[in-house]
Amino acid sequence: MTNNLSIIITLFKTPLNRLKILNQYKNYPILIFDQETKNNSEQISKIIDVNFEYFHSNNNLGLCKSTNFLISKVKTKYFLFTQADIKIDENSIENLIKGMNTKENIIFAGPVFNQLKSANEIKQLEQNYKLKSELDASVMLCDLEKVKQIGFFDEDFFLYWEDKDLMERVNKSNFKMIQILNSYVNHDAGKSTPDNTRVRFIRRTNFKYGELLFDFKHKKIRVIKILRQIFQNIFFIPFNLIVLNKANIIENISQLLGIFKFIKFIFLKKKSKNVKIYEKNEHY
Res. 278: pLDDT tops 60: no
What local confidence, expressed as pLDDT, does residue 101 receive?
85
Res. 221: pLDDT tops 70: yes
Q: In the beta sheet, which residues pair with residue 177?
A: 108, 132
What local confidence, expressed as pLDDT, does residue 42 receive?
87
**Which residue did the predictor score with more confidence, 269 or 57?**
57
Strands (E), 28-119: 30-35, 52-57, 78-82, 86-88, 106-113
How much is the average pLDDT of 254-273?
86
Res. 282: pLDDT tops 60: no
What local confidence, expressed as pLDDT, does residue 189 receive?
64
Name the pairing type of β-strands 129-132 and 140-143: unpaired
In the structure, what pLDDT confidence band is assigned to residue 242 with cuts at 50, 70 and 90? confident
Task: State the chain's mean pLDDT as an integer.
Answer: 86
Res. 70: pLDDT tops 90: yes
Contact at 8 Å (CB) between 144 and 74? yes
What pLDDT digit, counting tens, does each position of 142-200 carry?
999 999 999 999 999 988 999 999 999 999 999 999 999 999 999 876 555 666 778 88
